[in-house]
Chain A
C-alpha cells in the first residue's frame, strides 16, 4: 500500500510527507500532481508532486492544513498507509528551451513551484525566484530555493523576514532592472497569480500559472475543474494544471473556488473538534 515514510513540518501548518508509490514515482515529472485519499471514507485530495525518487520509488508532497481533508491526512503518521494514491496526473510543466526564467511562488504555492524551478536549473536555465509569505513564521523552502536560484527575493507582507511587500513589487523591480525573462512562472493564490499576470502583460512577458480548482476524479470525467482559457472551456486536471496566465479568466476562477465555502467551514469545524479530541 502507500506507506508514509517521512513526515516533517516545514512551518506550523505546512507539512512535507514522503510516500511509497513506485509506479507514480516512475512516471512523475515536475508540474504533475496526485490525488490521494487518507482513509476509506475520505475525500479525494489533489496535491502537487513536490519531489520524487524513481530509484527508491517514493513521491513527496507538501500540504497546507486548511480544512477537513488535509486535517484528516495530517492525522496519519509515519508507518501508516494512505488508502489511495493515484498519479501522476495532469500535464508536466514545459521547461524545454527556456534560458532565463523568473519563478514566483506565493505561500504553499512555493511547494508547487520548487520542483519546476529545480528542473529548470538542472537544465542549465538561469533561475530567479521570488517567494512570498504572510510573515516569517510561514516561510518554507528558503534554502532549497536559494540553492538553485541565481537571484532570490524573499518577501513577507509584514516585513518580518526578507523584504516587506508583495511579490508583484519584487517582480516589477527585477524587470525594470533590465532582466529579460523568457518566461515567468507564477504559482500561488489565485489573486496573486492574477496580479502577477497584470504586471507581466504590461511588459509582454509570457507567463505560465498553475491552476488548482476544486477537483474530484482528476481524469477529465466530472468537469468540476473547468476554467475558461482564451474563451474556451478547459479541464485543469487533464489540460493543465499549467495555463498561459494572460488567457485565464481569473475572476471566474476566483468566484468558482468559493462554491462550497460554507460547507467547507462546517467540515473544518467538525474535524477540528474530532482531531483535537484525539490529540
Chain B
C-alpha cells in the first residue's frame, strides 16, 4: 500500500539567507531514508501518465519501485536505459511541466518527487558504483558530433554504446555546453557535469575541445577526414540585445557574458583572474531560467538589491517554478509588468539607471499568452548600476555560413526533415537548441538520442 501523505518529502536545502552568499549547491539532496519514503508515495499506475510526459520516456514507476524496494542498482539501470545524464536532469528539468505535472498524486496533493528521486539515484550511483562500463566491440564506423552540450553528449554516448568511434568537437576549452558555461554551480555543481563527461570518455567517446566548426574545421572537412555521419548540437548561444538606447554603457551585460564570466571563467572564486563588476543594484531583464540564474549570481556576488524586470506577470514567468521560489526566498525583487526603454549612464559611461514603463496584459497573442501593452504615462526610473539582458538567444551563424546546402529558417535554426533530426544534407543530423531555439536540457537530450538511433540506421543501411 502506498504512503498516502499528500505532501512531497521536502528537499533539504541551505537556508536562503546563508546560501545567497555562497555558490555551494542550494538543494542538498534526499537521504537514503527520505528517498525510500518518497518512493513509497508512488501508486505505480498501470497507465503511467508520467512516462508519456517524459521527453526521453524513462520508465518512471519502474525506477521508483526499485527505490522503494531498496534496489538502487536496479533503479539506476532503469534510468540509464533512457537517460545518460540523470544527475543533471534530476536537478534542472522542469518536472512540473513534464513527469510530475502528470502524476496522479498531484491531483489531490503534491506529485511524487520524481526529479528528486532521479537525482538521488544518480548521486548514489556516482558515490557507490565505480565499475567501468562494458565496451562494445568497435563496428568500424566513425561519427563526428559538433558541440559538447547535452544534445551532442547524449548522441555521442548512445552511438559509442553501439560500437561507433565517436569524436565530439567543442569550440570552448571545456565540454558541457550550457551545463558548464551557463547554469551556475549552486544549481548544478560542475564536478557532476565533469563526472558525467568522464563517464562518456570511459565509453570511448573522444572529446576535442578548442575546435570551432566553421573556423578550425568545416562540416565538409569532417567528411573528408573520414567521418561518415555528423550530428550538429551547437546550441543557441548568440545573445539578443533589446536595441534600446544605452546598451553599450559600461555595466550592461548579456546574461551569457555575465554567467560565462562567473561559471566558465570562475569569477565567483575570490582568487579568479576574470574580472566581473561588483555591483550594488542590479536589474536582470527577462523571466526565464537564465534570468533567475543571473539574478541569483548577482546576489551571491554581493549586490544589495537585485531586480527581475519582466514585462508580463508572475503566472507567465517561463522559468522553472522552483527557481522562481528559490529566487524569491533569496531576496530577489520581482518587478513584473515592467519593461525597460532606455539605459541611463553617468559622465563616465557607467550605468546609473534604467528608464522603464509599466505594462498591463491585453489580448492573448499568437503564443496564447496575454500580450503586454504599455500603460500610458507610467514612465519611471529605476536606479541601478548594472543591467543584465536575458531576453533570449538564437543559434550562432558559424556553421550555417560555412556549410553549403544546410537549410536554416529565418531565426537561424537548422531545419530538420523529421523527428530523427536529418537535415537537408545527407548524413548530417541536428538537434537540441540549434534546431528548436533555446529550450531545455531534456529536450536536447531527447533529440540527441533520436538522432543517434537514426544515424545508426542510416550507416547500417548504407
Chain A residues within CB distance 8 Å of chain B: 23-24, 27, 37, 41-44, 68-69, 72, 83-89, 216-217, 219-224, 226-228, 233, 238, 249, 252, 255-256, 258-260, 263-264, 267
- Whether the pair A83, B217 counts as a contact (CB closer than 8 A) is no
**Do A221 and B256 contact each other (CB < 8 Å), given the known contacts A24-B216, A86-B171, A228-B248?**
yes
CB distance from B213 to the nearest CB of A (A): 10
Known: A23-B211, A69-B273, A84-B209. 11 other contacts (CB 8 A): A86-B210, A86-B212, A219-B171, A219-B212, A221-B256, A233-B241, A233-B247, A256-B349, A260-B275, A263-B275, A267-B273
- For residue B52, CB closer than 8 A to chain A, the reply is no
* Docked pose: A44 CA to B251 CA in angstroms: 20
Q: Which residue of B lies closest to A232 (CB)?
A: B243
In the assembled complex, which residues on chain A have CB atoms less than 8 Å from the CB atom of B257?
216, 222-224
Chain B residues within CB distance 8 Å of chain A: 171-173, 181, 209-212, 215-217, 237-239, 241, 243, 247-251, 253-254, 256-257, 260-261, 264-266, 272-275, 277, 348-349, 396-398
In the assembled complex, which residues on chain A have CB atoms less than 8 Å from the CB atom of B396?
219-221, 238
In the assembled complex, which residues on chain A have CB atoms less than 8 Å from the CB atom of B172?
217, 219
Q: Looking at chain A's contact residues, is the secondary structure mostly helix, strand, loop, or mixed?
A: mixed
In the assembled complex, which residues on chain A have CB atoms less than 8 Å from the CB atom of B273?
41-43, 68-69, 72, 267
CB distance from B80 to the nearest CB of A (A): 30
* Docked pose: A104 CA to B406 CA in angstroms: 40
- Whether the pair B265, A43 counts as a contact (CB closer than 8 A) is yes
CB distance from A271 to the nearest CB of B (A): 8
- Whether the pair B239, A44 counts as a contact (CB closer than 8 A) is no
What are the 6 closest A-B residue pairs judged by CB atoms, nearest first?
Answer: A255-B349, A222-B257, A260-B275, A263-B275, A86-B210, A223-B254
**Do A88 and B239 contact each other (CB < 8 Å), given the known contacts A219-B171, A260-B275?**
no
- Whether the pair A216, B261 counts as a contact (CB closer than 8 A) is yes
Q: Looking at chain B's contact residues, is the secondary structure mostly helix, strand, loop, or mixed?
A: loop
CB distance from B244 to the nearest CB of A (A): 11
* Docked pose: A222 CA to B273 CA in angstroms: 18
- Whether the pair B248, A256 counts as a contact (CB closer than 8 A) is yes
In the assembled complex, which residues on chain A have CB atoms less than 8 Å from the CB atom of B272?
41
CB distance from A241 to the nearest CB of B (A): 14
In the assembled complex, which residues on chain B have CB atoms less than 8 Å from the CB atom of A43?
265, 273-274
* Docked pose: A263 CA to B173 CA in angstroms: 24
In the assembled complex, which residues on chain A have CB atoms less than 8 Å from the CB atom of B173?
37, 44, 83-84, 86
In the assembled complex, which residues on chain A have CB atoms less than 8 Å from the CB atom of B256?
221-223
- Picked from B216, B217, B260, B348, the residue with its CB within 8 Å of the CB of A216 is B260
In the assembled complex, which residues on chain B have CB atoms less than 8 Å from the CB atom of A227?
248
Listed A/B pairs (14) with beta-carbon separation below 8 Å: A86-B210, A87-B215, A219-B398, A220-B237, A220-B238, A220-B398, A221-B181, A221-B260, A221-B396, A222-B257, A223-B241, A223-B254, A233-B243, A258-B250
Q: Which residue of B lies closest to A257 (CB)?
A: B250
In the assembled complex, which residues on chain A have CB atoms less than 8 Å from the CB atom of B247?
233
- Whether the pair A255, B250 counts as a contact (CB closer than 8 A) is yes
Q: Which residue of B lies closest to A42 (CB)?
A: B273
* Docked pose: A159 CA to B264 CA in angstroms: 46
In the assembled complex, which residues on chain B have CB atoms less than 8 Å from the CB atom of A228?
248
* Docked pose: A37 CA to B264 CA in angstroms: 13
* Docked pose: A270 CA to B308 CA in angstroms: 36
CB distance from A129 to the nearest CB of B (A): 29
Q: Which residue of A lies closest to B217 (CB)?
A: A23
Q: Which residue of B lies closest to A37 (CB)?
A: B173
In the assembled complex, which residues on chain A have CB atoms less than 8 Å from the CB atom of B265?
43-44, 216
Query: For B209, B265, B266, which residue has the most chain A Cβ atoms within 10 angstroms?
Result: B265
Q: Which residue of B lies closest to A34 (CB)?
A: B210
- Whether the pair A256, B250 counts as a contact (CB closer than 8 A) is yes
Q: Which residue of B lies closest to A72 (CB)?
A: B273
- Whether the pair A264, B275 counts as a contact (CB closer than 8 A) is yes
- Picked from A83, A88, A221, A260, the residue with its CB within 8 Å of the CB of B216 is A88
CB distance from B412 to the nearest CB of A (A): 11
Q: Which residue of A lies closest to B236 (CB)?
A: A221
- Whether the pair A86, B275 counts as a contact (CB closer than 8 A) is no
In the assembled complex, which residues on chain A have CB atoms less than 8 Å from the CB atom of B266?
41
